[in-house]
Structure 1
């Protein structure tokens, strides 16, 4: 599921600032980054189900492995993890999970807006 109209896809920010804001909001930078792309994950566990709210980004200046990078965020996505196959995104998600994700994304956007560019 892709979240539309969050405003995050309009954000272009320095990587270290993004790392701080995302960590403050419960996200971790996934270990699968490369020099041009990254993913921040927010893990939600409900009973036996595991969901991932993901905010991906692409470097528009510098590279992610270097000392400096500027990142353009993309539209956030929500997926459900199925062991051992991975994460599926094209599903119907429980309304409480979707609402929780919308609240988290709103909070992230508010933090980004409060920080100078």
Structure 2
């Protein structure tokens, strides 16, 4: 599920500050990066299954591996995990309303904090 109209696709921000804000909201980068891309994940284990809120981005400037990059964020996604196949984001997936509302609130809070230092 795409979270359209969040405005994330217009945000560019410093990687290190972005890491701090994302982590404070439970979105972790950990090993989800290469030198040009990042993925921030928050895992939700609820009775309906395991879900991931994901915020993707890419280096508009600099190098992620050197911790010196400006990250262009992309449209956030919510996906459902199916063992052992992976995460599905498709339109045919059923996402609980309470989870969607929680993810929207998290994304709004993150965006508000990022606005203080975004380019």
CA drift of 1:37 comes to 0.6
Partner of 1:89: 89
CA RMSD, Structure 1 to Structure 2 (Å): 1.3
Unpaired runs of 5+ residues, structure 2, are none
Partner of 1:17: 17
> SS of 2:2's equivalent?
coil
Deviant stretches of 4+, over 6 Å: none
Q: Is the 8 A contact 1:8 1:109 kept in 2?
A: yes
Matched, 1:100 2:102: yes
Unpaired runs of 5+ residues, structure 1, are none
Matches within 5 A, 1:1-117: 1-47=1-47, 49-90=49-90, 91-115=93-117, 117=119
The normalised TM-score by structure 1 is 0.93
Q: Is the 8 A contact 1:59 1:69 kept in 2?
A: yes
> SS of 2:75's equivalent?
coil
Q: Is the 8 A contact 2:14 2:118 kept in 1?
A: no
